[in-house]
Structure formats: structure tokens, C-alpha cells
A and B are shown apart, each in its own frame.
Chain A
Amino acid sequence: MIRSEVLKSLLPVFADHHVVCNIGLPSQELHMMGDKPTNFYMLGTMGLSSSIGLGVALAQKEKVISIDGDGSVLTNFGTLPTIANNVADNFILLIIDNGSYGSTGDQPTYAGMKTSLTAVATACGCENVVECQAEDAPATLQAAIDSNKMTIIVCKCESGNIKVPVITMDPVVIRDRFMKSLEARNA
């Protein structure tokens, strides 16, 4: 399974939860498969999906799922100790680890070589770190949601991409409807 297939299999689990989605193809795929106000698409700032998601989780009560990539976590490694030491039980970090910088043409990352993101997250002090294979992603994410514990999921999948259109929506619109949806849910 490649990332787009993993995301597709997760749609019923994302359901109406708020999702912060990584830059590039993951956001474009999620957008194409079913755009909604509960999705926050990153159009820039590779690496900050986990930081943005943590900020949202710390500021309010609704569950937040950050969809991240192995390359993006590698570029913002500092995020893992911050997450470990600022526990938000409404936060789930879902790292789709395809072992490559998928959005730029599947150049290999170190996560697909000797470096284990699961081991790094654990070493950083994260308490609920789960590694799963692509096929088990829906069950693993559902279990994390049901546990009401901050969880880091490292979902291993194959590299590879499908053709998807870019997101042309205005960033302020993306942000505003996401905020309003959160506000309504917290009211």
C-alpha cells in the first residue's frame, strides 16, 4: 500500500475529527478524497504538522490528528521531545512513513534506512508509540482515538504517488473554516 491508499482506508476513521495535514501530496490527496472544514491543509512549512497539531490540541478540547510524513518529522526532530513533555491526551500524531520524500519524487529518507522513527519517538520520551503496517492503520488509529491517550503512530507503507491536483483554496478560508468548526465543537 502507498500513502494515498493508506489515507483512503483511514477516511472512515478520520470521520468528523479535526485533522492537520502535512504539506504536499498528503494534503492534496486528502483534499481530493473529500474536502471538509475539519481538514487543515498545510500549503507550506514542511515539518510543522506535529507542532501545529500539538498547539491546537493544547488550546482546546476536541481531538486533533496530525498527519505527518517521515521526511517532515526528520526535518523537525525537535518536535518529539516537545510533544513528549507536553502531554495532550486529545492529540494523535500519525506519521505515514513511506521511507521517502514522496511529494518531491520519492527520494529516500534515512527513516527508510537505519533510522527508526518509532525508536526515536520512544527515546524522546513519548509514552504511547505504536508502529504498524499499512494494512493495520485503520484499526491502530481507531484504537488510539478510543484510548483517549496521546499517541504517536508510525505507519510503515510503500513509497509511490498518484496524480492529484494542487489545492487552490485560499489559505485564510482553510484556516477560518477549521477554526469555526473547532469553536462550534467546543461550545
Chain B
Amino acid sequence: MSIEDKIVADLVKHRVELVTTVPCKQLAGVIEKVDAEPSIYHIPSNKEDEGMGICAGAFMGGKRSAIVMQNTAIGVTINTLVTLTQFYRMPLPMLISYRGELGEPVACQAEMAVHTKALLAQINVPTYHLHKEADVEELDAILAYTFMCNKPVAILTDATFWNGY
């Protein structure tokens, strides 16, 4: 099973029925699989905070949701994470491509990379960092944890996790 298939299978296992995405080169494969999964409503959003609003609504409507996004969007989502997702205590798995780490070819990506974990830590978002392909095994437990504690949870995924850029 490819890691993309495993990720989608875990989302389905945990009854995630709505996924919003903003693309990253690394996330192209998983976005394609999410779109093809019949039990998931895939709703591309134009900005990540907008996507988090949709996820909050879906949760209140009785459906579990998730967001797939790039780490460069952390800055624009801080207010939403704090005053919507956390303030109203809502679960939100965030599958995040961690650009600007080892193997990164684009210098500009390193600039947000150095702030990513600090920003997540500052707002008390539980953060998991998947380095290698085999780390995908942790996703099942991370999703269970997210829906147990009703918090936004960050899953940072390196280029090496996706097998390069």
C-alpha cells in the first residue's frame, strides 16, 4: 500500500467524511486520493483559514473533517486555530507538508520552516513530525488522539516522508 493510500484508509477508518485542501507539490498524491475516495467529500479551499471554518461547520453538523495544507500557511491560520478551533473545542487533524527541511531545493521555504514548530508550540498545538515513510504507521493513533481530545493537531511531514520532492 502506498503512503497516500494508507493515509486515506486511516481517514476513512476514523470516519473523516470531509477534507479540505490547499495544494503543495508534496501533497499532490494524497489530494488526488482524497478526491477519489467516495466516502470523503473533498472541498478545496482558497485559503487555509477558510478551510478551517468549513471544517468547524462540518464538525458542528456531525461530520468529522481534516485539512491538508502546507506549513507556509501556519501564520495565516493562527487566529482561526485559537479563536475558533481551540476556543470552541473542536477536533481538527492537520496534515501538513513541512517544506524547507532537509532536501529542500527552494531557499525561500526554509524561512517559514524555522518558525513552524515555534508557532505551533506557542499556541499549544500538539505536533507530530513524520520523517520517514514508515512513520505513516503513527497516523492511526494520531487521529484517534485528535478526536479523543477535541483539539487541532499538527502532523508535519518531511520531504523524506513523501520520498522526495
- Which A residues are closer than 8 A to B by beta carbons? 20, 40, 42-45, 47-48, 50-60, 76, 78-79, 81-82, 86, 171-172, 174-175, 178-179, 182-183, 186
B2 touches A (CB below 8 Å): no
B46-A45 in contact (CB<8A): no
A44-B47 in contact (CB<8A): no
B44 → chain A closest CB, angstroms: 8
Secondary structure of the A contact surface, majority rule: helix
Size category of the B interface is: 20 to 34
B62-A59 in contact (CB<8A): yes
B58 touches A (CB below 8 Å): yes
Given contacts A44-B84, A45-B84, A86-B43, contact A60 B62 (CB under 8 A): yes
Q: Which residues of A contact B87 (CB under 8 A)?
A: 43-44, 171
Q: Which residues of A contact B54 (CB under 8 A)?
A: 51-52, 54-55, 58, 82
A56-B89 in contact (CB<8A): no
B140 touches A (CB below 8 Å): no
A55-B53 in contact (CB<8A): yes
Q: Which residues of B contact A179 (CB under 8 A)?
A: 60, 62
B60-A55 in contact (CB<8A): yes
Instruction: Give the distance in Å from the alpha carbon of A174 to the alpha carbon of B52 in the complex.
Output: 18
B57-A51 in contact (CB<8A): yes
